[in-house]
Amino acid sequence: MRLTVIGAVLAVSAMACGEKKNEQAQTPAAQPAAAQAAPAAAAGPVTEVKMTGTGTTAAFEPNAITIAPGATVRFINVSGGPHNISFWGDSIPKGAADVLKKAMPEQITDLEGKLLVQPNEQYDITFAGAPTGVYKGYCLPHLALGMKISITVK
């Protein structure tokens, strides 16, 4: 089972790298600008969460935060990517899935944010209209390494 999960994670990571290379080959001048583009302005306060990795470890720093409703969480790929933020549908408050689906741009699938491949690439999720409670999330490529986060909205 563990090897299957690791194999799946490696396959997703390889596909993400391949897709990024294809994008760069098609638009070499546009790609660096897009990677450096600033995220849309957040409506409320912003809490930054760094995404790190060394090859044998991976983490959200900090891995537990408390925010007010309407706040934005900014995930930043610092090292060891690709990284993303995903949520388990059964580990978020009732009614939160619809709010997150609208707040998470470029989802891979429901409640699974895009892969951050470039250093300093950012991904914002605004919790405007989000129900209070605990949101348990993870990084899909590094779930086997225990890369998880708990976001409390209150």
Catalytic residues: 83, 139, 142, 147
Q: Which helix (H) or strand (E) holds 135?
A: strand 133-138
Q: Which helix (H) or strand (E) holds 64?
A: strand 64-67
3-class DSSP state for residue 140?
helix
Record the tokens describing residue 42, joined without a space: 């957040």
Phi (first) and psi of residue 60, to 5 degrees = -90, 135
Peptide bond before 82: cis, by omega within 30 degrees of 0?
Answer: yes
Q: Which helix (H) or strand (E) holds 13?
A: helix 2-26
3-class DSSP state for residue 120?
coil
Other beta carbons within 10 Å of 122: 15
